[in-house]
């Protein structure tokens, strides 16, 4: 039987390896590095609590799921308690933040669900079915969210209207998993 110390060491090794890309994914989703740290911390605690069962399965998938659900929860809490100046359709910063990184500014213009789908599809490189499972939505909703999200980003990237037409939800590349 594996001792608690060995389980802790295993978890720490997993967490060290997974954290950098989880942190970046969290940052892309929420737009705030401090909140990203908190989200990853919360997710990793949940992973730790189930480590003995996850270690032989997909701890990374579980971590991603925790990350997204924690973000949704915190977003709901914040949205309920504190009014935001921008409408969700235009922009929905999770917290005030003065970073000027263009990518995050572009993503912040997306509604929450579209932002999560876009990051999981195009940063984490997850298949649509996997994203659907993570977010608890249908593959169709993933497709439509990704499509709308891309359209909005296209608009932002190419405001003059020379964006390519058509649905570009191409197959994701290998090797970019969070």
Euclidean distance between CA atoms 15 and 143, whole angstroms:
30
Distance, C-alpha 30 to centroid of its chain: 8
Q: Which span (54-62, 85-93, 101-109, 136-144) binds other proteins, by CB under 8 A?
A: 101-109
CA distance 162 to 158: 6
From the list 6, 45, 86, 88, which residue makes contact with other proteins (rule: CB under 8 A)? 45
Candidate ranges 24-32, 54-62, 85-93, 129-137; the one touching other proteins (CB under 8 A): 24-32
**Exposed, middle or buried: residue 98 (CB in 10 Å: 0-12, 13-18, 19+)?**
exposed
Binding to other proteins, residues 115-174 (CB under 8 A): 118-119, 122-123, 150, 153-154, 157, 163-164, 168-170, 172-173
Nearest in space to 56 (alpha carbons), one of 21, 23, 19, 7:
7
Report, in Å, the least distance between residue 141 CB and other proteins.
18
In the window 55-94, what residues touch other proteins (CB under 8 A)?
74, 77-78, 81-82
Cα 123 to Cα 117: distance, rounded to the nearest angstrom: 10
Cα 169 to Cα 14, 21, 124: the distances in Å are 31, 22, 14
Could you list the residues that contact other proteins (CB under 8 A)?
4, 8, 11-12, 15-16, 19, 22-24, 27-28, 33-38, 40-42, 44-45, 47-49, 52, 74, 77-78, 81-82, 95, 99, 101-104, 106, 118-119, 122-123, 150, 153-154, 157, 163-164, 168-170, 172-173, 176
């Amino acid at each position: 039987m594996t001792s608690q110390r060995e389980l802790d060491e295993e978890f720490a090794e997993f967490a060290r390896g997974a954290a950098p890309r989880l942190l970046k994914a969290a940052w892309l989703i929420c737009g705030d590095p401090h909140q990203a740290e908190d989200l990853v911390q919360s997710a990793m605690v949940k992973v730790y609590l189930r480590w003995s069962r996850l270690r032989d399965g997909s701890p990374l998938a579980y971590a991603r799921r925790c990350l997204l659900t924690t973000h949704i929860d915190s977003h709901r809490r914040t949205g309920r308690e504190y009014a935001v100046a921008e409408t969700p359709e235009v922009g929905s910063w999770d917290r005030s933040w003065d970073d000027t990184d263009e990518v995050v500014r572009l993503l912040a213009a997306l509604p929450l669900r579209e932002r999560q789908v876009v990051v999981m599809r195009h940063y984490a490189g997850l298949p649509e079915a996997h994203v659907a499972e993570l977010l608890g939505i249908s593959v169709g909703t993933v497709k439509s969210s990704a499509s709308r999200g891309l359209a909005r980003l296209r608009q932002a990237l190419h405001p003059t209207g020379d964006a390519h037409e058509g649905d570009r939800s191409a197959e994701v590349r290998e090797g970019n998993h969070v």
